[in-house]
Amino acid sequence: MTDEGKLILAGAHRIIKELDELQAAIDNHHNKISGKLKILAPLGFGRKYIAPLLGRYMSSHPHLEVELTLSDAPDWFSFNQWDLVIYIGNLKDSSMRCIKLASNQRFLCAAPAYLERYSMPTTPSELQQHVCIALRENNEDVTLWNFQQNKKNISIRIQPQYSSNEGATVKEWALSGLGIAMRSEWDVAAYFRNGELIQILPSYQLPNADIVILTSENSTKRSAKIEKFTQLLQEAFLHTPWNTDE
């Protein structure tokens, strides 16, 4: 898309947003949750956690229309077209207002079958002799894995034999014993507990990928439909569901 096209698109999104805000103001005056709620969320996390919460929210507010977009490669230029963005990882746009939803560690992991064939790496540099699985997301450099130990930063350049833009695929490859993958705590905690995956290099820390809500509006300007769903999200993740035995 040309620069002129991007400007036109941004202007159109702004006009639509202003119309939605006008409708929201009318609904707020009548104490009514209605209109369209547009949410952007990561593929796997959105499917597992956000979609069910939206279903609950809609059942309580039948006049509401929900539009959920799931993507692991969001377009930062068009973030303002959504009412709320659920984001995992390092932020690239400080202009968005950020509400932390939950802490989320990243881990390297592999299946027991893989470790039986190739042995357990003991240092990050040994990863260069292993089969690595990479997730392409947020336009990050998937070949650079960063670690910290005793406040010392270590960066290792890997050559992933497998890569995908979909986290569930990366996890399934790891579960199948194909290699070592980097995954979020929310996605693999249950597999650590049941032994299907084993944490690699547990004495090294990877950068956290906290789960946050992004919005262009502050709490005093958010419409009732956005504010109420934000509250529902915060309540749902007050005790992170992936740290239970369920």
Most distant pair of Cα atoms in the chain: their distance: 65
The CATH number of residue 192's host domain is 3.40.190.290
My answer on whether 98 and 119 are in the same domain is: no
Sheet of strand 106-110, all strands in order from the earlier edge strand to the far edge = 162-164, 132-135, 180-184, 106-110, 198-200
Domain count, the chain: 2
Average of per-residue pLDDT across 116-129: 95
Classify strands 84-88 and 132-135 as parallel, antiparallel or unpaired: unpaired
Can you give the residue range of the structural domain that contains 74? 3-103+210-243
- Supply the CATH number for residue 55's domain: 3.40.190.10
- Which residues, 6+ apart, have CB-to-CB distance to 24 below 8 Å? 35, 223, 224, 225, 226
Which H, E and C letters describe 20-86, residue by residue? HHHHHHHHHHCCCCCEEEEEEECHHHHHHHHHHHHHHHHHHCCCEEEEEEECCCCCHHHHHHCCEEE
In a domain, 225, yes or no: yes
Q: What are 18-44's pLDDT values in tens digits?
A: 555 555 555 444 457 888 999 999 999
**φ/ψ of residue 47, rounded to 5:** -65, -40
- At 225, the pLDDT band (50, 70, 90 cuts) reads very high
pLDDT above 70 covers a percentage of the chain that reads: 80
| Residues 99, 110 within the same domain | no
Tally of residues, the chain: 246
Closest to 70 measured CA to CA, from 106, 98, 45: 45
Q: What is the β-pairing status of strands 144-149 and 152-157?
A: antiparallel
Distance CA 148, CA 155 (A): 9
Name the pTM for this structure: 0.79
Considering only 12-16, 83-87, 215-219, which range has the smallest mean pLDDT?
Answer: 12-16
- Whether 205 maps to a domain, the answer reads no
pLDDT in tens, 149-198: 998 999 999 999 999 988 999 999 999 999 999 999 999 999 999 999 99
Q: How confident is the model at residue 142 (pLDDT cuts 50, 70, 90)?
A: confident
